[in-house]
């Protein structure tokens, strides 16, 4: 989701979601109904995100979360500074040719993050093409 927020900009979440606790409608149907959710902690938001990611959709997790999280939560509550740092590092490497270093010395976490960022940027571009064309 952070890549989509970076690529397209922040969607304005409802003022209802600025502070905890609050009650909202869930975005994952249970037995054909969308239940009321009581969001008291960030973990409650993550629980709904986990349910969303288990849904079988034609969209990537990032795209799905970008479009649905603002319906029940403030996306800023789910993005952390390390995510923005990782996107920045990805851009340094891919846009400016800064060396990632010897592959054996690069953490698996960083490589995983770069792979996710690259995939989601490609999904953003595909979405943009479909939207415009």
Cβ(28)–Cβ(52) below 8 Å? yes
> Given this model, what pLDDT does residue 76 score?
87
Tokens representing residue 2 in the block:
């952070």
| Each residue's pLDDT tens digit, 94-111 | 876 778 776 567 788 988
**Residue 104 or residue 8, greater confidence:** 8
Per-residue pLDDT averaged across 80-97, rounded?
A: 87
Cβ(30)–Cβ(55) below 8 Å? no
Mean of pLDDT over the chain:
88
Per-residue pLDDT averaged across 43-52, rounded?
A: 94
19, burial (CB in 10 Å: exposed 0-12, middle 13-18, buried 19+): exposed
> Given this model, what pLDDT does residue 103 score?
59
Dihedral (CA of 75, 77, 79, 81) sign: positive
Per-residue pLDDT averaged across 22-49, rounded?
A: 93
Query: Is residue 48 over pLDDT 80?
Result: yes
Alpha helices in 69-107 (DSSP H): 81-96
Residue 127 pLDDT grade (very low, low, confident, very high; cuts 50, 70, 90)? very high
Backbone angles phi, psi at 22, to 5 degrees: -155, 165
> Given this model, what pLDDT does residue 132 score?
85
CA 110 → CA 18, 72, 129, distances in Å?
31, 30, 29
Residue-range domain boundaries for the chain? 2-77, 81-132
């Amino acid at each position: 989701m952070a890549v989509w927020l970076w690529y397209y900009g922040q969607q304005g979440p409802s003022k209802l979601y600025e502070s905890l606790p609050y009650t909202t409608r869930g975005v994952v149907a249970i037995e054909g109904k969308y239940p009321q959710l009581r969001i008291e902690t960030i973990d409650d938001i993550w629980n709904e995100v986990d349910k969303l990611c288990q849904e079988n959709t034609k969209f990537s997790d990032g795209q799905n979360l970008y479009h649905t999280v603002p319906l029940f939560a403030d996306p800023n509550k789910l993005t952390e500074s390390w995510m923005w740092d990782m996107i920045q590092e990805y851009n340094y490497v891919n846009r400016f040719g800064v060396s990632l270093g010897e592959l054996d010395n690069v953490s698996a976490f960083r490589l995983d993050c770069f792979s996710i960022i690259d995939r989601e940027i490609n999904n953003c571009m595909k979405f943009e093409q479909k939207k415009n064309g």
